[in-house]
Amino acid sequence: MMDREGSPKEQPASEQAEEAAAQKGPPEERFVRERQQFRALILANPNYFGNLKVSPFQPVLSIQSNTFYEEIGCVGFQPQFNRLEAVVYVKQPTGYGGGICADGTQEFVRFYLSCDNGATWDDLGLTSFAAYDIPEGTEGSKRLEYAVSLQISPRKRFCFVDNLCTVRAILSWNAPPPPNDPGFTPVWGNVHDTHIQIDPLKLIIISDLLQAAKVTLPPQFAALVDLTQPAPLAEPKILGASELQALYKDKGVEPHRFALAELQQLISQPAYSEALMAQGAKGVLQQLNINLPEIIDNLFPIDGNTRYEQLECIGLDPNLDTLVGVIRVKLPSGYSGGPCTAGSREYVTFWGDFDGNGTFETCLGVTSVNVYDIDPLPRDGLEYAVFLPVNLSQYRQPCEAGPRIVRVRAILSWNVPPPCWNPNYIPVWGNRLETLIHIKPGKKVDPESHAPIIQTVGSMDVDDINVITGLAIGPAVLAGFTALDSPFGGEVILTGRIANPPDISAGATRLKYRVEVSGDGGLTWQRLTNSFTLGRDQLLNGVWSGLPSITQMVDADDYYEYQEDLTDGPGNAQIFPVGNVLARWQTSGLTGVWRIRIRVKDPDNPGPVWTSNVVTVRIDSAAPQPSIDITSGGGACADFVIGDVISGAYAVTDEHFGRLTVSVLPALGGSFTAPAPLPPGPTMPLTRTYAGGVPTAGEAGLWSLDTSGMPRCGYVIELGVWDRTIVNSGFVGRFNRAVVGLCLREKGE
């Protein structure tokens, strides 16, 4: 048990007994049979549990938003990287479809965004992770904490314009929340709303700047300037203690808050101490009327102060090997300035107790997020997120060896990074949390090995790609789309990691890797040789910054250079390829089942070659082929009379059909009916999907349009078709269309 700040706390025996009873749970909370048979029950009756607001099916057993097994604990936003993060508590030892050698079950999270106080919601997409039965007592496990991430593209504004939005995250066990339904109620899971702050613009279009300033250039000047060009904004100003003192006058911000940077510098830097002791020296903060002796005790606390911010959740994203923390910012002032300034940083350092002795001897790194004064502040504050990529390859173990459960500690400290060497650090402003994480099973990598691993293909986790068919199913990692027996096409992005990259700052040579693909079952392998642009992020002393992109090119032996650098120690920067991208495979014109692998060599250690996991994917480069015709009256492009029932036929062929719609344009009334194979009854437009039973190769059918009540006009009947292909690693469904025209006239014309 831990107190709210995460410090260990002795638990009375009576409370231990109550907690144990709660973990077992009364039968009405556990619903063991319903949990085991969940998919079968909702297949027979989609509204079996009564969670659907509109349904022709009658509920049998009322269960909604049950959090006995899992629950969203926190949702936060990293505005610098536009990353949404949610931390999910997995609370029971069983009820998740099997142990770690089984498939487990998916915990789905769909995110929504509203920037108009909930009047409208944008569906941002779906993500998920696999949960397993992990026996109670494993490393003292009572609750495991996982994280999911989603990259979004919110609208940015000028720094002087409030840009606060509401995020809604819906957790649903074993059944994804449907799209575009922010009011959905899950059976098992919950709905969590929070407020976020979106980062201000860093680049601005010149015409937008002039418009905001209400400035119109004279024509002769406008003709000389390309107003569509982006321009970088000036670096935001860092406010000093005197400026902050004036800013926070009468706002109740303590001196050891707004002057913390100067105070810490005085205490930690010998040069300043020497100056203070010189004859005739005056107090450095005297001009601020700060009495240092009165506040010195506040700089050496026995516990962190959470008046301004608090670390509320930490967890591990198993899809990305990334630690996540969610921080609640509680007050409108005290963060070193608003969004037009440099603001301040919330630092979080993570440690792992990998040997189970409780000392947290392994520092995993420090990360941070920028925060600002936001006034007015939502009543429940704002939630920010931090994330830290971690290399867990040496801590994995095969599933047969059991789950690898590790206790993790995180310490939040405002404006002062918690030092890696001190896992017992007490911040002036901040707090400590501990939790248990589950490290994804896999082969343990030797510390001397440089074994590569392919993590995602086309934005899909490789575990969600069928090893035989090469088709993907489930939510993408970060991208927000959902695959349904989907092949891949266009640009297929490969992401992954190479174990134990060397210390480049110490003079080591970068590792080299070659990407190989095979279209004949592995008999022969082709090398990817195309150049591509790679973004890079730098993490230095907990502060993230972007580095210039580089062009990845192969050498004479078709090897790329691996760009990740995990150099440890103060003053040493860690370099991360954006998205862990290893290659961009251009698959245009290819088809069939292909295999992918990566081979790695160390130029400083000739001889060994390490080979990655082999991933099988299906490539589909062909768009769906639609056709539509009018079979009644004079056929295509003929004249018809208002009130006629116009008949026609449609067909679509595709190797991986997704969905089709038949609609009339312009949409000025009328109703479709379809004798076969579409269901009878008036609909507008007609829709058919692969998930609704259409064969994967497509179908042909008939349609009819009752034109009663439609105005005199020229119309087209459009057949829109999509396949199931993951296109350019970013969305599902190539689109194609076919149309047929007609003219609708008044009777007697």
Confidence band for 111, pLDDT divided at 50, 70 and 90: very high
Confidence band for 232, pLDDT divided at 50, 70 and 90: confident
Greatest mean pLDDT among 219-233, 270-284, 345-359 lies in: 345-359
pTM of this prediction? 0.86
Last residue of a domain, one of 415, 439, 463: 439
Residue pair 410/350 in contact (Cβ under 8 Å)? The answer is yes
Same domain, 314 and 293: no
* Lowest mean pLDDT across 272-276, 357-361, 394-398, 631-635: 272-276
- Is the pLDDT at 225 greater than 80? The verdict is no
Same domain, 633 and 698: yes
Q: Which residue from 434, 535, 635 is spatially nearest to 7, judged by alpha carbons? A: 434
Q: Which residue from 513, 516, 524, 525 is spatially nearest to 554, judged by alpha carbons? A: 513
Confidence band for 89, pLDDT divided at 50, 70 and 90: very high
- Measure Cα distances from 230 to 340, 550, 663, 729 in Å: 19, 21, 41, 27
Task: Tally Cβ neighbours within 10 Å of residue 296.
Answer: 12
Q: What angle do CA 172, 174, 175 make, to 5 degrees?
A: 65
Does residue 49 lie within any of the structural domains? no
Domains in the chain, number: 4
Burial of 366 (0-12, 13-18, 19+ CB in 10 A): buried
Q: What is the mean pLDDT of residues 713-729?
A: 95
pLDDT of residue 671: 74
Same domain, 662 and 569: no
Same domain, 196 and 78: yes
The widest CA-to-CA distance across the chain, in whole angstroms, is 110
Higher pLDDT, 273 or 583: 583
pLDDT of residue 280: 47
**pLDDT (tens digit per residue) in 534-547:** 999 999 999 999 89
Same domain, 318 and 394: yes
**pLDDT (tens digit per residue) in 346-379:** 999 999 999 989 899 999 999 999 999 999 999 9
pLDDT of residue 141: 56
Does residue 213 lie within any of the structural domains? no
pLDDT of residue 447: 77
Q: Rounded to whole angstroms, how far apart are CA atoms 552 and 532?
A: 5
- Is the pLDDT at 229 greater than 50? The verdict is yes
Same domain, 268 and 157: no
Does residue 222 lie within any of the structural domains? no
For residue 496, the enclosing domain spans 452-620
Q: What is the mean pLDDT of residues 249-258?
A: 90
Q: What is the mean pLDDT of residues 291-313?
A: 85
Same domain, 91 and 162: yes
Higher pLDDT, 410 or 242: 410
Same domain, 178 and 309: yes
Last residue of a domain, one of 270, 299, 328: 299
Q: What is the mean pLDDT of residues 432-444?
A: 91
Does residue 471 lie within any of the structural domains? yes
Same domain, 289 and 273: yes
Same domain, 325 and 374: yes
Does residue 74 lie within any of the structural domains? yes
Burial of 661 (0-12, 13-18, 19+ CB in 10 A): middle
Does residue 230 lie within any of the structural domains? no
Q: Which two tokens stand for residue 527?
A: 């090398």
Confidence band for 160, pLDDT divided at 50, 70 and 90: confident
pLDDT of residue 27: 54
Last residue of a domain, one of 601, 620, 639: 620
Report the chain's mean pLDDT, rounded to a whole number.
87
Q: What is the mean pLDDT of residues 638-662?
A: 93
pLDDT of residue 29: 66
The enclosing domain of 661 has a CATH number of 2.60.40.2550
Does residue 355 lie within any of the structural domains? yes
Confidence band for 408, pLDDT divided at 50, 70 and 90: very high
Confidence band for 5, pLDDT divided at 50, 70 and 90: very low
Same domain, 110 and 178: yes
Same domain, 345 and 410: yes
Does residue 236 lie within any of the structural domains? no
